[in-house]
Amino acid sequence: MSDAANPVAEAIEEEALRRKRARGVRPILGLIPFVMAYKAMLAAAFVMLVVATLATLAFPMAGRRMVDGFASENVQFIDQYFLMLIVVAAVLGVSSAARFYFVSWIGERVVADIRTAVYAHVTHLSPAFFETMRTGEVLSRLTADTTLIKTVVGSSASIALRNSFLFIGAAVMMTITSPSLSGLVLLVIPVIMLPLIIFGRWVRRLSRASQDRIADTSAFGGETLNAMQTVQAFNHEEIDRRQFSATVEASFDAARSRVTARAVLTALVMFLGFSSVFGVLWVGAQSVIEGSMTGGELFQFTFYALMAAFSLGALSEVWGDVQMAAGATERLIELLQIEPQIKAPAHPVALPTPPKGTLAFNKVQFFYPTRPDAAALNGLSFEVKPGETVAIVGPSGAGKSTIFQMLLRFFDPQNGSISLDGVTLDQADPSDVRRRFALVPQETVVFGMSARDNIRYGRPEATDDDVYAAAKAAHIDAFLTSLPAGYDTVFGERGVTLSGGQRQRIAIARAILRNAPVLLLDEATSALDAESETFVQQALEGLMEGRTTIVIAHRLATVRKADRIIVMDKGEIVAEGRHEELVAKGGLYGRLAALQFATDDLVSVDDGITSKDDLSAVAAARD
């Protein structure tokens, strides 16, 4: 209370209130560019709206003529009036139907366009965006929020427009019919508008809360439904069920508050509206008794007054929708306005053709956006020559996969630079850069489409024969042809699920098909059994031939064949060289070799070390 006496605090509070109010419906203006794309449809809808309004406004006039006609016994006009009324009814029917069609069409079209625009925009955003924004939230904006907008543009906006037109028309006709009674109505209007404004603000706040709760529900539901096996394996159903029902209840509570607010709003408007009209009518009845007004005029005035009141009531109902849509638009525009952090410069430098396949990291330091305290790469420098095969080894969390993320330019380093064929990555177009790489990721994503299309993902324009050749080379052809629908078998959520090894071979087939100058293998054979590994290893060796390859590996067989090995730990390079040199040096590589590399690989090693124990002993001796 002491704040109220403080003029400065008061001014600040006022400013805050004003900002909130301005934010209230202004976001809906963000829809204008989407709606303006369909000017012809808009014009058609507008014309139909005007025609329908005029037709509606014609009824009370005919009514007055009739009432006064009865009084003056001019009954021969009655037939004509009724005929005219039927014509007007036909016009009203046709124009209302046309208006409904045009306006709904615009609503559906605008939502379709917004969905496409938001999806297209989101696909261009950098991984950094997806680190902080939940996919469920993006999905809920894409579906729930756009549906809200559809309701508003397609129906509420139509209701609002029709009723505003009707209200204005009825008000004008009221004034023409009886200026004095209309003057009285004018005095009454603030009584109706005030609660509308106050409650409207309340409804808007509750709407946003309600939408947020719905987003929470779908995010939580999506996350657990996608991992049902994990949920069930840990007997987590009960806990998740309770948690889900808690979020559902929270969204119910939020919805109930919103509905209550709107109910109160409707009751207030209805009551105040009608009782004001009746009050004014009472004054009108007195005028008819005094003889300063005819019965027909009072009838006409009453009709218009009821129209105005009804249209105002309808307006108050859709006002809540409009405010809800304002929240939805705000969230969508917010998404559309997020600038991708990684984008092509205004004048991208072209990468040299034909591609050479040289790579260079120069004192690269990088922090993930969600881990600003710990460097994932810390002053990393190395070069890779054309056609060279470099193996990267190191304990998990050393930053190996991060190197690939940097090469594909999913992130930019905070310090230092990375170049491909002599061009610094941030000077080139990211899609040009990515075209130069074929990645076999640590975790393969298999999409809910046919086997053929899953492999073709590597190069969308590849022919079926290319796909089969790649599948053969990746040793997945035999498995795929053994499936009931062969290459047309659908994978994914509602299709065949694949083992880790099969997924990996799909990923390898994609990389083979992609035929890019630089090959990035992230533990590409880790999920394969010994036999298929040998086969796939052969396929990969064929692929690596004449191509720059960086291979993150934990198997000695792969590492030993590399031209050079880079040993990483905690985001730094701790050693570099050939296998024999590194083993001789001991250190981290020696320990890794002893602990991580499969023992059966070691049997074939021809440098005198024939068992894991020997290697450990060597490592221990050098430390």
Ligand X SMILES: Nc1ncnc2c1ncn2[C@@H]1O[C@H](COP(=O)(O)OP(=O)(O)O)[C@@H](O)[C@H]1O
**CB count in 10 Å sphere of residue 72:** 10
Q: Residue 401, interface with Mg ion (CB under 5 A)? A: yes
Q: Which stretch binds Mg ion (CB under 5 A): 32-40, 102-110, 399-407, 457-465?
A: 399-407
376 contacts which partner out of ligand X, Mg ion, none, CB within 5 to 8 A by kind? Answer: ligand X
Q: Residue 405, interface with Mg ion (CB under 5 A)? A: no
The least CB distance from residue 499 to ligand X, in Å, is: 22
| Ordered alpha helix ranges (H), 125-236 | 127-132, 135-140, 146-151, 157-177, 179-225, 228-233
| Residues composing the chain | 623
Q: Which residue is nearest to Mg ion (CB)?
A: 401
Q: Residue 413, interface with ligand X (CB under 6 A)? A: no
Q: Residue 397, interface with ligand X (CB under 6 A)? A: yes
> Per-residue contact track with ligand X, 350 to 389, x per CB under 6 A?
------------------x-xx----x-------------
Cα 310-314-320 angle, rounded to 5 deg: 155
**Nearest 5°: phi and psi at 449?**
-140, -175
The least CB distance from residue 309 to ligand X, in Å, is: 59
> Judged by CB, which is closer to Mg ion: 146, or 401?
401
Q: Residue 402, interface with Mg ion (CB under 5 A)? A: no
> Judged by CB, which is closer to ligand X: 216, or 522?
522
Q: Which of residues 431-460 bind Mg ion (CB under 5 A)?
A: 442
The least CB distance from residue 377 to ligand X, in Å, is: 8
Structure tokens at 327: 């929240």
- State how far the Cα of 102 lies from the Cα of 161, in Å rounded to an integer: 13
Q: Which of residues 110-139 bind ligand X (CB under 6 A)?
A: 131
- Give, to the nearest 10 degrees, the angle between helix 237-290 and helix 179-225: 170
Q: By CB under 5 A, how many residues form the interface with Mg ion? A: 2
The least CB distance from residue 319 to ligand X, in Å, is: 44
Q: Residue 554, interface with ligand X (CB under 6 A)? A: no
Q: By CB under 6 A, how many residues form the interface with ligand X? A: 13
Sole binder of ligand X in the list 398, 582, 615, 619 (CB under 6 A): 398
> Judged by CB, which is closer to ligand X: 365, or 481?
365
The least CB distance from residue 581 to ligand X, in Å, is: 22
| Ordered alpha helix ranges (H), 226-345 | 228-233, 237-290, 295-337
The least CB distance from residue 368 to ligand X, in Å, is: 3
Sheet holding 564-569, edge to edge: 437-440, 518-522, 548-552, 389-393, 564-569, 572-577
The least CB distance from residue 375 to ligand X, in Å, is: 9
Residues 6+ apart with CB under 8 A from 340: 124, 125, 126, 129
Q: Are 471 and 477 in contact (CB under 8 A)?
A: yes
In 3-state terms, what secondary structure has residue 495? coil
Cα torsion 343, 348, 352, 353: sign: positive
Q: Are 140 and 215 in contact (CB under 8 A)?
A: yes
Q: Residue 409, interface with ligand X (CB under 6 A)? A: no
Sole binder of ligand X in the list 27, 169, 327, 399 (CB under 6 A): 399
The least CB distance from residue 400 to Mg ion, in Å, is: 5
- State how far the Cα of 569 lies from the Cα of 396, in Å rounded to an integer: 9
Report the interface residues with ligand X, using CB under 6 A.
131, 368, 370-371, 376, 394, 396-402
Binding residues vs Mg ion (CB under 5 A):
401, 442
